[in-house]
Structure formats: C-alpha cells, structure tokens
C-alpha cells in the first residue's frame, strides 16, 4: 500500500485540477493512470442506472448501463462490450452480470477470480469476452452515487500478466473511494443526477463549451450550428438542470447540488 500512496495523492490532485469543461479528458486521464499504476492493459468507466418499474424476476434488479467509456477501443473489445450490454436485456444473463449487480453496498471492490466459480473460466462467456479479446483478468470497483445511479470501473490485464491480488485490491479501492466527488461531476456533465432528463450528445458538447466560458456565437461556430439552434440547445440545458442562467449552471460544478 505504501508504495502507492504518492501515486494516489498525485492522481487525486491531478483530477482536481481539471476544469469542468474537460470532463471527458479527466476520465481518460484517470483510466490511463489506473492502468499505469496497476500494470493493466485497458480500462472502462460506466454509468449504470436502475430503471423504474423493474420487471418481477429481473435478475439484475433493474440495473442497466447508461453509457460506457473505454480507454482503448480495439474493435474486438468494443464489440465485446456492446454484446455484453445487449445481453443484459435478455431473460437469461450471465452469472458474472448478476454478481456485478447484486447487493446495495455503497462501495464495493472485486477481483474476477474471487467472484466466480472455477468452472466459469472454462465456459464460453469467459472465452468470448476475455480470452478472445486478449484479457485474462479484471479488477473492479462499484460506487453508488445515488440509490439509482452507480459508477463501475474495471481495469484489465492481458493473458501474460499475473492475476490481480489483494495487494492490488486495497490501493485500488483507496484511490476510487476518494473520488466520489469526481464521479458526481462527470455525471453532471452528462445531465444525470439532477437533470430532468439526460442530455443529448449535442447538448453535452454545448454544455462543455458553456463551462469553458464560450459565448453563444463561439459555441455556434464550434458546433457548426446557427445562433438560433445554439440558443435553443442552451435553453434546453437550463430547463433540464432547473436553472435560468449560466451563473446558476456553473454553481452546480462548485458543489451546490441542492
């Protein structure tokens, strides 16, 4: 653990230094740093939400991914993630997904080889979604932001690397346990947590420009939109966050989440 302390503090400081307008870059920096610290090959950051009106018998208790960020996106891995997420809507889901969604702990760290029975590693799911994309193991964190929103972070090692161990798990948990504030900011940038409905892809881009202090004209130019279209997007963003001006919107990123 002590060997990681300086790196942990450095990462916390670096993430705190990212402006709100660079939310996506901050996530990529966090994933890159985690891979470097734990000798991992790739990483993912996912927002998982609990859908209202869960169907009785739903093995995932309503939890489904809202969106996923991959550090590196080789075609085989990106396709694997899509297939895995699509399968979550089927009546039968893999035991690894059931275990990943189970429980109501506010914070949970897991090692793949601790979670699953030995026979699972001989099956098709592990072959298709790990071995075939060059992964042998993962370590994960699940952090509850609200009762219906979670962040899932996974880092992956390749087939030639040793498995993750308890010596990796403790500092990994410490790093991410101290970053709940960071995940809340990321969710804000995507219109979750307090927005009436999530932001569209275009609104997300406009929001980041607003937080960077750009004028409507500059935002319109950067997005190749007319002033009227940009103004409509900005009004929609304000409405979704329940604010009426830039000052109130910006205040949300300064910790006023009421």
Fold held by 2-179 = Beta-Lactamase (3.30.450)
Q: Which pair of structure tokens corresponds to residue 116?
A: 């699953």
Record the pTM. 0.84
Q: Which residue is listed with tokens 């004028």?
A: 215
pLDDT single digits (tens) 27-68: 999 999 999 999 999 999 999 988 876 677 889 999 999 889
Helix 2-16 to helix 166-177 angle (10° resolution) is 30
pLDDT single digits (tens) 167-186: 999 999 999 999 999 998 88
User: What's the mean pLDDT when you consider all of the chain?
Assistant: 90
Q: Report residue 3's pLDDT band, with 50, 70 and 90 as the boundaries.
A: low
pLDDT single digits (tens) 113-138: 999 999 999 999 999 999 999 999 99
Domain ranges of the chain: 2-179, 201-252
pLDDT single digits (tens) 216-225: 999 999 889 9
Residue 2: predicted pLDDT = 65
Give the closest residue to 7 by CA, choosing from 41, 35, 27: 35
CATH code: domain 201-252 is 1.10.10.10
Contacts of 207 (CB under 8 A, 6+ apart): 189, 191, 199, 237
Residue 26: predicted pLDDT = 95
Mean pLDDT of 10-19: 94
203 touches 234 (CB < 8 A): no
Q: Report residue 258's pLDDT band, with 50, 70 and 90 as the boundaries.
A: very low
Question: Based on C-alpha coordinates, what's the Rg of the chain?
Answer: 20
């Amino acid at each position: 653990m002590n060997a990681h302390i300086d790196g942990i503090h450095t990462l916390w400081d670096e993430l705190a230094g990212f402006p709100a307008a660079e939310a996506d870059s901050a996530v990529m920096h966090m994933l890159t740093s985690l891979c470097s610290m734990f000798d991992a090959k790739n990483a993912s950051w996912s927002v998982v939400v609990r859908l209202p009106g869960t169907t009785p018998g739903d093995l995932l208790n309503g939890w489904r991914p809202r969106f996923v960020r991959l550090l590196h996106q080789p075609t085989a891995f990106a396709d694997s993630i899509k297939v895995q997420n699509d399968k979550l809507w089927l009546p039968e889901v893999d035991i690894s997904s059931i275990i990943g969604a189970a429980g109501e702990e506010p914070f949970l760290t897991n090692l793949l080889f601790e979670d699953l029975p030995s026979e699972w590693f001989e099956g098709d799911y592990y072959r298709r979604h790990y071995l075939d994309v060059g992964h042998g193991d993962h370590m994960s964190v699940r952090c509850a932001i609200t009762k219906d929103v979670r962040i899932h972070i996974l880092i992956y090692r390749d087939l030639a690397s040793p498995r993750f161990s308890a010596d990796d798990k403790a500092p990994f948990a410490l790093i991410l346990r101290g970053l709940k504030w960071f995940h809340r900011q990321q969710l804000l940038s995507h219109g979750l947590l307090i927005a009436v409905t999530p932001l569209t892809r275009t609104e997300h881009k406009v929001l980041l420009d607003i937080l960077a202090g750009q004028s409507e004209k500059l935002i319109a130019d950067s997005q190749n939109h007319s002033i009227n279209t940009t103004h409509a997007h900005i009004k929609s963003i304000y409405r979704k966050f329940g604010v009426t001006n830039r000052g109130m919107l910006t205040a949300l990123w300064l910790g006023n989440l009421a």
